[in-house]
């Protein structure tokens, strides 16, 4: 079986349940906040707002994107993971 990023994340103690992250008030990783906003701007400007990211409140798809990026950046911080190295 291939050792994917997801497999590696699952072996950590990082909270991957977005609902729990929200309920427990786990703060967003600064890089996750920055990157999700950049992706939203790029989508709006260059992809005709294809994803229609919204960042206005809890449950918005932009907020969900930020939570997913939180998981990734926490994993990266804990493990030193670098993209391009078995990141499939």
Give this prediction's pTM. 0.88
Residue pLDDT, tens place only, 73-87: 999 999 999 887 555
Residue pLDDT, tens place only, 17-47: 999 999 999 999 999 999 999 999 999 999 9
Three-state DSSP class for 17? coil
Q: How far apart are CA 85 and CA 64, in angstroms?
A: 25
Q: What is the pLDDT of residue 56?
A: 78
Q: How far apart are CA 48 and CA 17, in angstroms?
A: 31
Residue pLDDT, tens place only, 42-73: 999 999 999 999 987 767 999 999 999 999 99
Yes or no: say if 22 and 28 are a contact pair by the CB < 8 Å rule: no
């Amino acid at each position: 079986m291939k050792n994917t990023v997801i497999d590696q994340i699952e072996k950590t103690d990082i909270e991957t349940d977005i609902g729990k992250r929200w309920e427990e008030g786990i703060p967003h990783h600064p890089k996750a906040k920055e990157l999700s906003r950049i992706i939203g701007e790029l989508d709006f400007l260059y992809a005709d707002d294809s994803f229609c990211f919204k960042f206005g409140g809890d449950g918005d798809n932009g907020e969900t994107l930020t939570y997913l990026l939180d998981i990734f950046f926490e994993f990266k911080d804990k493990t030193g993971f670098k993209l391009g190295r078995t990141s499939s």
